[in-house]
Amino acid sequence: MIRPEQHNECLFNTPRLVCRRWRNSDLDALYQVYSDPLAMQWVGDRKPISLPECHNWLHVTARNYATRGYGMFTLEEQTSGQIAGFCGLVHPGNQPQAEIKYALRRNLWGQGLASEFVPALLNHGAQVHGLELIIATVYPQNLASRRVLEKAGMLLVREFDDDGHTICLYEWHA
């Protein structure tokens, strides 16, 4: 799982959020966010995650921290310390480009939080990890995420078919 010396590392702050590495204690919040069927309509295979899959994800993230220095991160509200959601830079299927991923608790949707942390996450990837290209994939119908990505300076470069679903590919160059 996540090594103790890594669990308190703050990566960056935004006006309302603190972004930090995952802790083993984030498991319940991780499950709460990623088991929400409405939220998962926009993620991967569109299926809510199981608790065992969340446990495995903690292991995968620890491996990513050890091998790449980055992975998925936790977003905490600055005022309450409650977990708002998760974001990160990952390489699904070991793809060469880092890909931005994020999900927030549903009760926080529409408050501009993603527009706040996505640019900070992109800058973190470039400045701290030397990433010159970061991509994002999003379903065309997910207009809210598309607006967030575009506001952060990501450009739609093409659409492609993935197992019968159209996917929009965005790129951001440092």
pLDDT for 102: 94
Q: How far apart, in whole angstroms, are the C-alpha atoms of residue 166 and residue 141? A: 9
Count how many domains the chain has.
1
pLDDT for 39: 77
Q: In terms of Cα–Cα distance, which of 37, 55, 56 is closest to 46?
A: 37
Q: Is 152 exposed, middle or buried (0-12, 13-18, 19+ CB in 10 A)?
A: buried
Q: How far apart, in whole angstroms, are the C-alpha atoms of residue 22 and residue 31? A: 13
CA-derived radius of gyration, the chain: 15
3-state secondary structure of 107: helix
Share of the chain above pLDDT 70, in %: 93
> pLDDT digits over 110-163, tens only?
999 999 999 999 999 999 999 999 999 999 999 999 999 999 999 999 999 988
pLDDT for 5: 45
> Which residues span the domain enclosing 136?
4-173
Q: What's the whole-number average pLDDT of the chain?
A: 90
Question: Which stretch of DSSP H or E encloses residue 38?
Answer: helix 37-40
pLDDT for 3: 47
Q: Identify the CATH number of the domain in which residue 93 sits.
A: 3.40.630.30
Q: Is the pTM of this model over 0.85?
A: yes
Backbone phi and psi for residue 78, each to the nearest 5 degrees, phi listed first:
-65, -40
